[in-house]
Amino acid sequence: MISKEALQLFAALFAIMNPLTVVPIFLALTDGYSIAARRGVALTVSITVFITLSIVLVSGTRLLEFFGITINDFRVAGGILIFIMSLSLLRATPSRMRHIPEEADDDKSHDNPAFFPLAIPMMAGPGSMTTVILFGNTYTGGVGILTAMAVIAVACLMILLTLFMANFLAREVGVTGMNIMTRLMGLILSAVAVGMIFAGIRGAFPMLAG
Mean per-residue pLDDT pooled into runs of 10, the chain (210 residues):
82 88 86 92 96 93 85 88 85 62 53 85 88 80 87 96 92 82 84 88 79
- Residue 36's pLDDT is 94
- Residue 89's pLDDT is 83
What domain count does the chain have? 1
Question: In this structure, is residue 210 part of a structural domain?
Answer: no
DSSP line for 13-27:
HHHHH-HHHHHHHHH
- Residue 41's pLDDT is 95
DSSP line for 98-164:
T--HHHHHHTTTSS--IIIIIIIIIISSHHHHHHHHHHHTT--HHHHHHHHHHHHHHHHHHHHHHHH
Question: In this structure, is residue 45 part of a structural domain?
Answer: yes
- Cis peptide, bond prior to residue 117, ω within 30 of zero: yes
CATH number, domain at 48? 1.20.1250
In percent, the amount of the chain with pLDDT more than 90 equals 26
- Residue 181's pLDDT is 80
DSSP letter, residue 32: T
For residue 14, the enclosing domain spans 4-204
Secondary structure of 62-80 in the HEC alphabet?
Answer: HHHHHCCCCHHHHHHHHHH
- Residue 49's pLDDT is 97
Question: In this structure, is residue 68 part of a structural domain?
Answer: yes
Question: In this structure, is residue 115 part of a structural domain?
Answer: yes
How far separated are the first and last CA of the chain, in Å rounded?
30
- Residue 69's pLDDT is 86
* Burial 110-138, CB ≥16 within 10 A → b, else e: eebbbebbbbbbbbbbbbbbbbbbbbbbe
Write down the pTM of the prediction.
Answer: 0.80
